[in-house]
Amino acid sequence: MPRLTFEKELASLRESLVRMGTLVESQIESALDALRRRDGAAAEKVRNQDQYLNELFRTIREQVFMVISTQQPVARDLRFLLSVLRVTPELERSHDLVMQVADRAGSIETELGRPVDAGAVLAHVLARLNGVLSEIEHAGPPTLFTRWLELAPSATGERIEWDGPGGVQSGVSAGLAEDGALLVRTSEGLERILAGEIRWM
């Protein structure tokens, strides 16, 4: 690959990375605004950008691998390419959180079927959080762990499925590990799930 072409590839990667970062930043603002206003239509607009951003992430990653394999860059160019590989997954994870925020926009009012005072909800949540933190400070994390199990009986003995590296996986919930991971018994043994979407069947 000629040096001029290589420079164009690097410039294209920079532009794509900036575009991805700008989009994620914009989506964060839009999702929070939709949540504050409990605007389901605005939240849907945020969700509609999900596929585009995922495709952009895959395009950037493939472009980096192609440049590394064909050009074998060194020094500053290689550091830049490796930085892109580190930054883009973080941006994608940030956007996954944006999707979760968008999914919650308007959900309280939808569940209750009536308007909700956002300030009152926030005050209640903060008061409860303060109580939980005080309890942890005096009694230690095991108390919180025990309480979580009491409030989540489905953490044991329930059929669930989740999206794993190889596609959809399923098993039976088998409690929680000390670090908070959900334990799932499958045909291949005991799995640990620390994050991701879990669906109870």
Domain annotation for the chain: domains and CATH numbers: 3-112 (1.20.58.220), 153-201 (2.30.30.100)
- Structure confidence at residue 92 as a pLDDT band (50, 70, 90): confident
Among 6-15, 29-38, 86-95, 104-113, name the one with the lowest average pLDDT.
104-113
The bridge status of strand 198-200 relative to strand 156-164 is: antiparallel
Per-residue pLDDT, averaged over 90-114, amounts to 73
Q: pLDDT (tens digit, 9 = 90+) per residue, 47-62? A: 888 888 888 888 888 8
- Given a contact cutoff of 8 angstroms between Cβ atoms, the answer to whether 157 and 172 are in contact is yes
> Is residue 145 within 8 Å of 164, Cβ to Cβ?
no
pLDDT at residue number 10: 84
For the segment 134-176, what is each residue's pLDDT rounded down to a tens digit?
766 666 556 666 666 666 666 777 888 887 777 788 888 887 7
CA distance 173 to 116: 34
0.75 surpassed by pTM: no
Q: For residues 30 and 46, is the Cβ–Cβ distance under 8 A? A: yes
Please state the rounded mean pLDDT for residues 74-92.
82
